[in-house]
Structure 1
Amino acid sequence: MTVSYRQPGVVLTDHRFTVPLDHDDPSGETIELFAREVVARDRVGRDLPWLLYLQGGPGFGANRFIGKQAWLGRALQEYRVLLLDQRGTGNSTPVNRQTLPLRGGPAEQAAHLTRFRGDAIVRDCEAIRPQVTGGAPWTVLGQSFGGFCTVTYLSIAPEGLDQALITGGLPSLDAHADDVYRAAYPRTERKVAAHYARYPQDVERARRIADHLLTHDVVLPSGYRLTVEAFQTLGVLLGSGDGSHRLHYLLEDAFVRTPSGPALSDAFQEQVQGLLSYAGHPLYALIHESIYAQDDRPTAWSAERVRSEFPQFDAAKTLAGDEPLLFTGETVHPWLFDCDPALRPLRETAGLLAARTDWTPLYDPARLAANEVPVAAAVYHDDLYVDTAHSLATARAIRGLRTWVTDEFEHDGVRAGGPRVLDRLLALARDDV
């Protein structure tokens, strides 16, 4: 049963689909996928082509837009849009600390989680496409991890695609997680330096907070244990267009005077726990490094291991000297599973995934080299989340792909840029520019 309702300028219809948990066992266990159809109110009865949106992540449900926000208004000029909650996210049979014990112990949970990577997401898309489009190929817009999935789509089911549009999501076809993070830490250091150049007062503020966390045991109201390393992960904000400003405002009023001396304010703690908690997207922490796994090499907590090669990120050493505290970026560490109450029950499961050595390839270089689907990709120069050099190497490896390399936007350009990014990509894919 489908349900339709209205928002300003649009009509929304909720859809639920049943797909195999394991597409290699189509008669076995099934899971549910949730997707939201959006169409402009004045085009409800028209026969429109479809655009499928694949959200960034992994582990996030599709955007919950109101009306025609961000890129959606531009898309609705031509398309019906399907906002898919990828398997395990949003309203699609969610995966979290509450549901995973239904699978059994950590070994069974880890085995279950191997079915939530990009290849399974693409096969889900192909399973539901005939029900949505009547079998016609659709245009796919992939943001960040959704772009990774789009490259997988081009590798295993290009017949399902009319066009492929990618924003901040061209992955390396062969880099191990270690290669990804070795490129990421210097890039993160540049972003932090740019932040301090804009807000020099934040150098002392960040150092003061870090020093407090090194000398005090701080537990946030949610039960999240705020260590200095966890505080450093707020650097993930620096990958968005307004992130530097948001970080600045967060730091400026961190402390409050109390009878026992300075303490981190309730307002600061409330904001921080909202930014750091994985309660709403635990799948991100569990399978993030596995999106870079394609052979018999374990990821083995790659971000944590590689971090040791960059001692400038060690807060204790930084505070012993005069250097600014460095924030980190898009990294997942084993100690997060001690800090975050939403992750604590899943630490052993995450460790088993990190040790896994039987990962299967996600991309087919030969098929990509022979690609015939029109593809356009926005590559954000010095993107915090996705290495520009890796993206451009992949762009050269996909036949016919056209890139738009820009430093006008950060990783969230498709949101922050309104209709402009999507408009540009459509023009490139159609060879209009």
Structure 2
Amino acid sequence: MPTYRQPGTVITDHRFHVPLDHADPAGERIEVYAREVVAAGRERDPLPWLLFLQGGPGGRSPRPVGRDSWLDRALNDYRVLLLDQRGTGRSTPAGRQTLPGRGDAAAQAEYLAHFRADSIVRDCELIRRELLGEDGRWSLLGQSYGGFCTLTYLSYAPGGVREAFVTGGLPGLRSTAQDVYRAAYPRVRRKVEAHYARYPEDVETVRAIVRHLREREVRLPGGGLLSAEAFQALGITLGTGNGSHTLHYLLEDAFVAGVSERQLSDPFLAEVQSHLSYAGRPLYALLHESIYGQRSVTPQATGWAAEAVRAEFPQFDVDGALAEDRPVLLTGEMIYPWMFATDPALAPLREVADLLARREEWPDLYDPRQLARNEVPVAAAVYHDDMYVDTEDSLATARSVRGLRPWITNEYEHDGLRVSDGRVLDRLIRMVRDEA
């Protein structure tokens, strides 16, 4: 196990071999990577473990530099394990470069069906027993989708957990994918309207960009097609604390100055690509809607829910907005089938994505009865009007989990854990300890 030092920390690499299908422990195995971080000078102390479950799906764990962000607060009390969930980071990869080795699209989809929260939690349990022993318990910190995984953990393996902290990630226990997006579009509209209220000049800039994209084909530096609908997807930035400002500064550099024919600038296109490309996180696009699939809620397929529900919200239609001379609304955390045609990183996986969208009878991810008798102390930050996770769903879940203490705040957006210099985590720790 390689060990190295950074300012104020000692880091150790861990690799674990886990079953691809936990129902077949003697079958194929994949590798899961995790990074242990401990405060310098405390390497040999018997510190409790804190497992960090990253947002996503398909997001690798943070790559720390010393005691940065929330890690500084965590290292006061814990030995932290940063998990690259299966298929991400340094774990066995899953993307356009590796999935064809599984066989045809149907074989690839069957493989990816083992990459949801239920499998992630079973990985964690094997890792826990290896690091802490059969009776050892650790703490959980789940950010966003990591909070979804935390609720799965509390549903099916609560005996391994001593306490849990959730930030921006209390899912609707009985919400379908359609329910999720039906609630999401109005939230996104509010965020976009708030952005235009802050930066009124961006209304016309966005209209000019989408008119330009309707009139000609524009390619991103990596070859991806920047359609008007793809440009709308930049609205996903508006769910973070500085997202509105980031979007404004991106838009102000959209067009090249001093040329006779209007063109979108190379710096603009390069930055747009950095926001829209799924080359670094293909599982996010492939599995995003499947994280809401549960057979006891509905046996039906998720069926490209974001696309299907969008028809109920015609105010997001680009051509209608241009024709009626009204602001063009951007979209948010939605995955659409056309993304698998316009993004070169996703194009080879188009058939796989469609098979996953049409897959039925996804296993349940949560056990409401177990959560109702939960004995693990839980504290959760619920961000008021979170663009990515529905606040009403989160509060309903908070009421459904015995012993869960919610902290409802509008001081932070969805990225509060990362940007608060440890204040969000500190508040949750003190809540679990009955100090706040």
TM-score by length of 2: 0.98
State the SS of the aligned residue for 1:162. Answer: strand
Tell me which residue corresponds to 2:334.
331
Partner of 1:164, secondary structure, is: strand
Deviations 1:30-83 (Å, cap 9, x if unpaired)? 000000000010212211100000000000100111111111000000100000
Q: What amino acid is aligned across from residue 365 of structure 1 in structure 2?
A: P
Q: In the aligned structure 2, how far is the partner of 1:6 from the partner of 1:316?
A: 55
Please tell me the residue identity of whatever aligns with 1:355: R
* Alpha-carbon shift at residue 268 of structure 1 (Å): 0.4
Tell me how far apart the structure 2 counterparts of residues 159 and 73 of structure 1 sit (CA, whole Å): 28
What is the Cα-based RMSD across aligned positions, in Å?
0.8
Counterpart code for 2:109: A
Structure 2 counterpart of 1:322, which letter? D
The residue number in structure 1 matching 2:5 is 6
Separation of aligned partners in 2, 1:291 and 1:243: 25
Aligned-pair distance for 1:224?
Answer: 0.8
Q: Per the alignment, in what secondary structure is the counterpart of residue 221 of structure 2?
A: coil
- One-letter amino acid matched to 1:358: E
For 2:230, the equivalent position in structure 1 comes to 230
- In the alignment, which residue of structure 1 is the partner of 2:253? 253
Secondary structure of residue in 2 paired with 1:42: coil
Aligned position for 2:431? 428
Amino acid at match of 1:137: R
- SS state at 1:255 partner: coil
Partner of 1:145: 145
Instruction: Name the counterpart of 1:173.
Output: 173
Q: CA deviation at 1:427?
A: 1.0
- 5+ residue gaps in structure 1? none
Determine if the alignment matches structure 1 residue 161 to structure 2 residue 161. yes
Paired residue type of 1:179? D
Distance in 1, Cα, partners of 2:30 & 2:388: 30
Q: Shift in Å at residue 359 of structure 1?
A: 0.7
* Partner residue in 1 for 2:112: 113
Shift, 1:134, TM fit:
2.7
Q: Distance in 2 between matches of 1:259 and 1:381?
A: 45
CA spacing shift, 1:406–1:259, aligned 2, 3 Å: closer
Q: How far apart in 2 are the matches of 1:260 and 1:242?
A: 34
- Partner Cα separation in structure 2 for residue 259 and residue 201 of structure 1: 22
Whether 2:57 is the aligned partner of 1:58: answer: yes
Equivalents in 2 of 1:97, 1:336: separation in Å?
14
Partner of 1:127: 126
Q: What amino acid sits opposite 1:382 in the alignment?
A: D
Distance 1:131 1:260 in 2: 65
- Cα distance, 1:322 vs. partner? 1.9
Equivalent-residue separation in structure 2 for 1:259 and 1:429 (angstroms) = 60
Match of 2:311 in 1: 308
Aligned length: 432
Q: Structure 2: which 5+ runs fail to align?
A: none
Partner Cα separation in structure 2 for residue 292 and residue 83 of structure 1: 24
Q: Which amino acid aligns with 1:387?
A: D
Per the alignment, residue 385 of structure 1 pairs with 388
Task: Quote the Cα distance in structure 2 between the aligned partners of 1:143 and 1:133.
Answer: 23
Q: After the TM superposition, which residues 27-426 of structure 1 pair with which residues of structure 2 at under 5 Å, given as runs?
A: 27-135=26-134, 136-257=136-257, 261-295=261-295, 296-426=299-429
Distance in 2 separating the partners of 1:427 and 1:133 = 24
- Determine what percentage of the aligned residue pairs are the same residue: 63
Shift in Å, 1:131 = 1.6
In 2, Cα distance between the equivalents of 1:274 and 1:180? 26
3-state DSSP class of the match of 1:170? coil
Structure 1 Cα separation of the partners of residues 204 and 114 of structure 2: 45
